[in-house]
Amino acid sequence: MEEKQFAGILNGAVPGEPVKKDENTRRGNWGNQIEFVLTSVGYAVGLGNVWRFPYLCYRNGGGAFMLPYFIMLVFCGIPLFFLELSFGQFASQGCLGVWKISPMFKGVGYGMMVVSTYIGIYYNVVICIAFYYFFMSMTNLLPWTYCNNPWNTPDCVGVVSSSSQINSSLANATTSLVAGVSEVVNRTKRTSPSEEYWKHYVLNISDDIGNFGEVRLPILGCLAISWFVVFLCLIRGVKSSGKVVYFTATFPYVVLTILFIRGITLDGAINGIKYYLTPQWQKVLDAKVWGDAASQIFYSLGCAWGGLITMASYNKFHNNCFRDSIIISITNCATSVYAGFVIFSILGFMAHHLNVPVSEVADHGPGLAFVAYPEALTLLPISPLWSLLFFFMLILLGLGTQFCLLETLVTAIVDEIGTDWIIRNKTVVTLSVAVAGFLLGVPLTTQAGIYWLLLMDNYAASFSLVIISCIMCICIMYIYGHRNYFKDVEMMLGFPPPLFFKVCWRFISPVIISFILIFTVIQYKPITYNDYVYPGWSLAIGFAMALSSVVCIPIYGLFKISRSPGATFRERLKAACQAHPKWGPALREHRTGRYAPMASEETAEARTFKEKEELKEEQKEEEKEKKEEISLTIQGSNGSTNTHNNPNPSA
């Protein structure tokens, strides 16, 4: 019996139930489970794994940071990931439809949609800049190699001698060059050609967030390409995106491996990796390190964005999402650690070349992706090749996340309207959302676009995600009831959630989420970009964006209470919190146990069916009688029963 149950667990089926095709013909399903896993990996593994985690790791104690990081993964990341996957898979609904579990909290779903909208707008702008750098790398000489360009300033100091050949090895670089560069670096803050290319040519950055200037047409064109690619991959929903992810989710690992092998063979690479991993155990006692670890796990896995619920809603009902959540979460975190080796091996090589500490060249965010790392690549032989690979990897990492963000919005809209027309014309909805996303992203391609992009990145999806996730946990575990939800999971998977996950869902994860929220508030600092300090009015807009997703929850809650039946507020509140009658598995064949239709419903359906059958029988009897009358009439006139020759009985 145990072997049979174990086999059922492995294939995601309920023990004892025959394996059968369980296709939701109305919404559609993934072609197979590999598509779902790859899509979820592509969603969770994004740009943050490459440009944020390595920086956090070296800043927070190197290898010592791994301890709180993996503890937070086990107690917060994987449980929340499993909760969202099981939530969406059980109801087979997007981030709005699942809130039939407790209609008053449907505002949480709207909050998820708002967050996904903000992230989808600015995330595609980052992808389009990666597209731009990718196209600019299709040359014999990377344009950010030297300081002899029209956009360079007198402060520019390159790391490659203009007299040296492009493909010459570093061993042939003169000692005087290295000494001269090191002297400049130590005397003043060096302005690199890659930084000036980024600021003065790609962005042509303005002096203030309110000074939009002109639209950067090359960036706008790349934004159009980026949105077109996303739309094309989602033109048939999960049926088309499920095929695309075979490439977009796997090829970044090929590129990472190529860059890693290239990186560790360079001089100084070991110093960079040591800087990345050398543990500083005293920092483990610092609360900030634990806060950074919890925040990175939470944001990296994409919890509370609505994407996990949406992707899981296209699973077959008995899929083993427990297994999937562990595989995807561990893959995401392992990718972050692996990317750190790739980044710091190259940065260590650059620091060795400049004869400066690794901390002088380390950076994060756009500064790492579009300034520090591209500059390090100019030092390599055949640098355009490595640049093409690096930016192609960034494009694929970004697209994997962007697919799910767009699908989250489209699925929520289609499920909410739910008419046959909207389901048949889902492609039109996808196109409309993509066009709207492109138009809303146009201001981010102006000369002040980078200011707005960073503002959205820091505020639109910060503490609001934490609040949304915390309320979701409370609603499912305490409003709907943990016992009810555990039974739902057991009904779906064939086994109850392990005790560890029950404890985490009810107690540990909400406490850690609350800790992240408190930590975020305490550690808050007004956003800056290099030396630019954001004005107060722009920070107010940032907070408004953050609150716009959270405020959906109380507004919809009050609306639902006002529309619920009841004489007193308490009765209305109770009615608004109760699960909707349609809550449960989407397909009738899965609505068993407490979700089975009530006897009265079955009787009513049987009665309706019986009445229809009786009506059909009566109609048949009437038709039969008419035919007999016609036959008798014709026989009386000519003795023939051939009604085809004389269809008119009066003849």
Annotated binding site: 42, 44-45, 49, 300, 332, 397
For residue 242, give the nearest of 25, 46, 31, 22 by alpha carbon: 31
Spatial distance between the Cα atoms of 26 and 40, rounded to a whole number of angstroms: 22
CB 85 within 8 A of CB 312: yes
For residue 423, give the nearest of 435, 408, 406, 410 by alpha carbon: 410
The DSSP bridge partners found for residue 54 are: none
Spatial distance between the Cα atoms of 599 and 577, rounded to a whole number of angstroms: 25
Residue whose token pair is 């002040």: 448
Number of H helices, E strands in the chain: 31, 2
CB 371 within 8 A of CB 129: no
CB count in 10 Å sphere of residue 425: 13
Spatial distance between the Cα atoms of 410 and 429, rounded to a whole number of angstroms: 6
Residue whose token pair is 């002109």: 214
The DSSP bridge partners found for residue 532 are: 529
Buried b (16+ CB within 10 A) or exposed e, 345-362: bbbbbbbbbbebebebbb
Spatial distance between the Cα atoms of 505 and 76, rounded to a whole number of angstroms: 9
Question: One-letter amino acid identity for 394?
Answer: L
Spatial distance between the Cα atoms of 584 and 576, rounded to a whole number of angstroms: 17
- Can you list the pairs that 561-567 forms with residues at least 24 positions away whose Cβ atoms lie under 8 Å? 561/104
The DSSP bridge partners found for residue 446 are: 215
Residue whose token pair is 């000519």: 638
Annotated binding site for Na(+): 42, 44-45, 49, 300, 332, 397
CB 103 within 8 A of CB 576: yes
The token duo for 244 is 């695309």
CB 104 within 8 A of CB 194: no
Spatial distance between the Cα atoms of 297 and 288, rounded to a whole number of angstroms: 14
Give CA torsion, residues 170, 171, 174, 178, to 10 deg. 60
For residue 259, give the nearest of 379, 339, 145 by alpha carbon: 339
